[in-house]
Amino acid sequence: MKSLLPAINTPKKIIRTRKQKVEVLVPQLAEYIIQPNHVTNARYEYTLLQERIFTGMMYYLQTDIKELLRNANPLQLQIFSENKETDNYITLPVPLKDIAHPGNYNMVVAAAKKMRKTSIVFKVKDEEGNESTVVDGLISRATIPSAGHRRSSFLEIEVSRQVAEILINVQKKGNIPVEYTRYIYQIAQQASSKYTSLL
């Protein structure tokens, strides 16, 4: 049976881990995802396909997360300036080729739409360090728009501004970023189990 999920083919290299001195195979041109720990530790029930969609969303947000790590003003971030006309919603284009094979793109839209109904729990700290829990459906809308007679190669995901702020908000002590996770995008998207990216 053919897998529904694509392999992101990149050259591989062998590296040796620091602690256990074990050799592992990783992508040679690895792209790293940085995300806040409250996103990493969020509680939800997603399928493998939905995990790939979520990882694709975090991949798209990397420019804004890196700007925040460099102490940019959140109001000046590209994601918010590009979406001025729709004040309450942000659109994230996620490449379909990183999520599924072309024949299964309709399954991607169905999986994304189910994410609207699935609760996700973030434990977010405010400026005083108090912890509160935000429960919300991650996605407001998901479509593959048509470009003339052809369909786009992107899944357009609409999220609320509040959710976008949660996804990019890395906690800091002073001006130093703390409480964030870094992992390789290609490894997360090639995972054969939905639990791999959670680990």
All structural domains of the chain with their residue ranges: 35-171
Strand partners, 25: 14
Report the percent of the chain where pLDDT is more than 70. 75
Where do the DSSP E strands lie in 65-108? 89-95
Determine the average pLDDT of the residues in 68-97.
78
* CA dihedral angle for residue 119, residue 87, residue 57, residue 156, rounded to 10 degrees: 100
Q: Is pLDDT of 56 > 90?
A: yes
May I ask the CATH architecture of the domain 35-171? Orthogonal Bundle (1.10)
Express each pLDDT in 132-165 by its tens digit: 777 878 899 998 887 665 667 899 999 988 898 8
Cα separations in angstroms, 84 against 24, 25, 48, 77, 172: 44, 43, 33, 11, 26
Pick 192 or 101 by higher pLDDT.
101
Confidence grade of residue 13 (pLDDT, cut at 50, 70, 90): low
Q: Is pLDDT of 26 > 50?
A: yes
